Amino acid sequence: MTTQWNHYINGDFVAPSSGEFIHEFVPMTGLQGDQIARGSAADVDQAANSAAAVQPAWNARKPIERGRILLAIARLIRTNAAAFCAKEAEETGKPVKMAAFEIEACAQYFEYYGGLATAIQGETINLGPNYHAYTTREPFGVVGVILPWNSPLNQAGRAIAPALVSGNTVVVKPSEFTSITMLQLAEMAVKEAGLPAGVLNVITGTGKETGEPLVKHPLIRKVAFTGSVRAGKEIGKLAADRIIPLSLELGGKSPNIVFEDADLDRAVAGSVFAFTVNTGQVCLAGTRCLVHESIYQKFAKKLASAVEALQFSDGENFGLGPLTTKAQYEQVHAYTKLAIQEGAEQLVGGDVPSDKAGWYVRPTVFTNVNNSMRIAREEIFGPVLVLMPFKDEQEAVAIANDSEYGLAAGLWTSDLARAHRVAAQIEAGQVYVNEYPSGGVETPFGGFKQSGYGREKGLEALHHYTQTKTTIIRI
Ligand code: NAD
């Protein structure tokens, strides 16, 4: 039995104006799952109008009251975590225990930004005794949030919580592959946490039919996009046409550098996690592993054993899940084939597990790779790693920075001076030392170069969901 899910607009489930629905799929089996509403420009219009109608009243609330509602949402996410985890696991294919980490992160975004509600402040500027000048941080109005499928509620919380706490209202378009937990969260926020109807609306559907009308809608005053470079460019053009601010959280091909003075066992375990977590479907995945030539052979041997020892999850416990979409599964296979054509050698992985019905792949590591090959330059978004030696710090930095992307980088070293020296030279929005990934809801996150612009997380995100007004009074 599959369920049909409508949009969530103005505190109610609303049928799509087209009357049409789209099937999601269950990655563990490859079979059809629940259906979601196929959103159109008319549905987006209804949601944007609802969000705009209640925005002035939401913004007029005392910040401490907005914060209290966000804290209630955080509490309820935790109370209902088991249900959210089960649905998120069904939609994405990730093990339930892994989904639990992400649902907890979502709760933490509401908790963190709820707690910061009263800390959104301006400043006074001294222009001499005849003036009083000050700044205020004001919301944009209605924010459009467009999300991918790899960590649905985690990324939703990351964008929605700072947008709401700053006095904006929101229309979200989750990925057409993983929309349902977002609908459940919005309903819970309104029905149980006290969020006024219309402050958070969810429109489901495809990028072209639903996402584009959202970016183009005149009532949408800022867009927060997380997804591919391809879609980011399309959205960037639409946003440029309307001169609305945009934050782009895009992809990566992140370097993970292992120096000869690293704790080898920790570096191996961390490097495996860096490219296999969430079956490699993570924007910040460390997919280019650069290893000092003096430890390269030893590292490769240990890495191969560690990758071979990885187990598939039973759906509940930790382990590898399937890829979330069929297209992603096909893409990973196309890249592993391309790697061989380009002359790379497969150290481990490659074959398909024969006893699995869903979109499972084995983590695969390639050697004999140079940084100009496509498998070293393009984001694969699956558990595929290229291993490359380097001779000194300078060469490691040069290879690391020789990429169109700049989302994250890892360093493994026991030399603190080296850690700081290399971190300073890396072109990436995040540098992790001796852990990959690292950080929390408090640490700003975003990309250099083609990995995007703007920042989510931390205090910094609040600057992206507010605009500064300066008032100057002649006394
Ligand atoms: P995608 O770009 O295909 O889709 C993302 C979202 O954008 C979906 O909701 C989709 O429907 C919508 N969309 C697509 N085209 C659109 C258009 N023209 N106008 C408006 N909306 C449009 O990405 P995906 O396959 O869902 O996700 C994988 C990508 O996301 C990877 O590249 C990954 O690196 C990136 N990602 C980045 C981060 C980050 O924080 N930097 C986090 C997770 C994923």
Please give the pLDDT value at position 356: 80
Residues making up the chain, counted from first to last:
475
Q: What would the mean pLDDT of 85-103 be, rounded to a whole number?
A: 97
| CA distance readout (Å), 213 to 37, 45, 46, 225 | 15, 8, 12, 14
Q: What would the mean pLDDT of 285-306 be, rounded to a whole number?
A: 98
Query: What pLDDT band is residue 117 in, cutting at 50, 70 and 90?
Result: very high
Please give the pLDDT value at position 299: 98
348, 52 Cβ separation under 8 angstroms: no
Tell me how crowded residue 62 is: count the other CB atoms within 10 A of its CB.
10
Q: For residue 174, report the distance from its CA to the centre of ligand 1, in Å.
A: 10
The DSSP H or E segment spanning 468 is strand 466-474
- 456 in catalytic set: no
Q: For residue 381, report the distance from its CA to the centre of ligand 1, in Å.
A: 12
Q: Percentage helix, strand, coil, to 5, in the chain?
A: 40, 25, 35
The DSSP H or E segment spanning 303 is helix 296-308
- 85 in catalytic set: no
89, 317 Cβ separation under 8 angstroms: no
Q: Is the pLDDT reported for residue 333 higher than 90?
A: yes
CA-proximal residue: ligand 1, atom 35 (nearest)? 227
In CATH terms, 4-250+451-474 corresponds, of 3.40.605.10, 2.120.10.30, 3.30.1360.120, 3.30.70.2660, to 3.40.605.10
Q: Is the pLDDT reported for residue 334 higher than 80?
A: yes
For residue range 206-222, what is the model confidence (pLDDT) as tens digits? 999 999 999 999 999 99
Please give the pLDDT value at position 205: 98
Please give the pLDDT value at position 357: 84
CA distance 80 to 104: 11
Please give the pLDDT value at position 2: 82
For residue range 53-75, what is the model confidence (pLDDT) as tens digits? 999 999 999 999 999 999 999 99
- State the DSSP code for 151: S
CATH of domain 254-440: 3.40.309.10
CA distance 351 to 361: 7
172, 201 Cβ separation under 8 angstroms: yes
Backbone torsions φ then ψ of 62, nearest 5 degrees = -60, 140
CA-proximal residue: ligand 1, atom 17 (nearest)? 207
Query: What pLDDT band is residue 350 in, cutting at 50, 70 and 90?
Result: confident
Share of the chain above pLDDT 90, in %: 98
For residue range 215-263, what is the model confidence (pLDDT) as tens digits? 999 999 999 999 999 999 999 999 999 999 999 999 999 999 999 999 9
Please give the pLDDT value at position 44: 98
**Ligand 1 proximity of 234 Cβ (cutoff 6 Å):** yes
**Ligand 1 proximity of 246 Cβ (cutoff 6 Å):** no
The DSSP H or E segment spanning 327 is helix 326-341
Please give the pLDDT value at position 352: 75
Q: Is the pLDDT reported for residue 353 higher than 80?
A: no
CA distance 342 to 399: 18
CA distance 178 to 266: 34
**Ligand 1 proximity of 220 Cβ (cutoff 6 Å):** no
CA distance 118 to 64: 6
Q: What would the mean pLDDT of 98-108 be, rounded to a whole number?
A: 97
CA distance 308 to 364: 9
CA-proximal residue: ligand 1, atom 15 (nearest)? 207
**Ligand 1 proximity of 144 Cβ (cutoff 6 Å):** no
Please give the pLDDT value at position 35: 98
Q: What would the mean pLDDT of 300-305 be, rounded to a whole number?
A: 98
Q: Coil, helix or strand for 166?
A: coil
Q: What would the mean pLDDT of 283-298 be, rounded to a whole number?
A: 98
Q: What would the mean pLDDT of 120-140 be, rounded to a whole number?
A: 97
For residue range 177-211, what is the model confidence (pLDDT) as tens digits? 999 999 999 999 999 999 999 999 999 999 999 99
The per-residue pLDDT of the chain, averaged, comes to: 97
Tell me how crowded residue 368 is: count the other CB atoms within 10 A of its CB.
15
Q: Is the pLDDT reported for residue 11 higher than 80?
A: yes
**From 102, 111, 176, 249, the catalytic residue:** 249
Residues with Cβ within 8 Å of 237's Cβ and at least 6 positions away in sequence, in order, are: none
**Ligand 1 proximity of 239 Cβ (cutoff 6 Å):** no
**From 102, 283, 289, 427, the catalytic residue:** 283
Domain boundaries, the chain: 4-250+451-474, 254-440
* Alpha helices per DSSP H over 138-217: 152-165, 180-191, 212-216
